[in-house]
Structures are given as structure tokens and as C-alpha cells.
Amino acid sequence: AQTVTQSQPEMSVQEAETVTLSCTYDTSESDYYLFWYKQPPSRQMILVIRQEAYKQQNATENRFSVNFQKAAKSFSLKISDSQLGDAAMYFCAYRRGSGTYKYIFGTGTRLKVLA
């Protein structure tokens, strides 16, 4: 069975600084997707970034980038130039490449941004 682990329950970062959130996963599949979702206090889950396992290039979306290490089964999220609006719960999620649209989520990391 696939599992997703986020070992940092909470992280803090100064405004304008850079922070990295960790995620590891376990799977025997070769075809899968990885995601980072943000859940602010409104509880709306917002897609931050996604990565296809077959792509070696790390995904980037503006201030958000990932470090995808397929052999190590690691998928960390780097947030650059942190803003107050980045404060939220961040969830790492795994999805098989086909056969199901089911996500497996990690337990989340609460990110605090200090002014």
C-alpha cells in the first residue's frame, strides 16, 4: 500500500525568507503523480504544484518549487520570498498514474509566516 509521510507538523518562516517542507512517500508503482495542496483557515484546498513521476525536471510555479528525488522517494516543497498569505496547512498527496483518482494524503505541515 502507498503511504505519504510529512514529518514536520509545524514550521515557521520569516516574511521574505525561504522555507522547505518535507514529504516522503512509499510506493512500488512507477507511474504516479505527486501534489502539494494548501489549506488556509477557510478550509478550501488549493493546488500549489504538481509533479509527474516520469518527468525528471522539478516543477515550478512562481515562488513555489519542488525537489523531486524519485529514487529516494522524496518530494519537498520550497517556498521562496514567503508572504503572510502563505500561512496555511500544506498537504503532500500521491496519486497512482491510472486506475483511480484517489489521493493519499500526508498528515500535513502547518506553516506560520512571521512578520
| Interface positions with other proteins (CB under 8 A) | 33, 35, 37, 42-47, 50, 52, 91, 95, 97-98, 100-108
Nearest CB to other proteins, comparing residues 13 and 106: 106
Q: Compute CA distances 29 → 34, 53, 86, 107, whole Å.
A: 12, 10, 32, 21
Residue 82 or residue 90: which is nearer to other proteins going by CB?
A: 90
Helices (H), the chain: none
Joined together, the cell numbers standing for residue 4 give 505519504
Q: Provide, rounded to whole angstroms, the least separation between the CB of residue 89 and other proteins.
A: 10
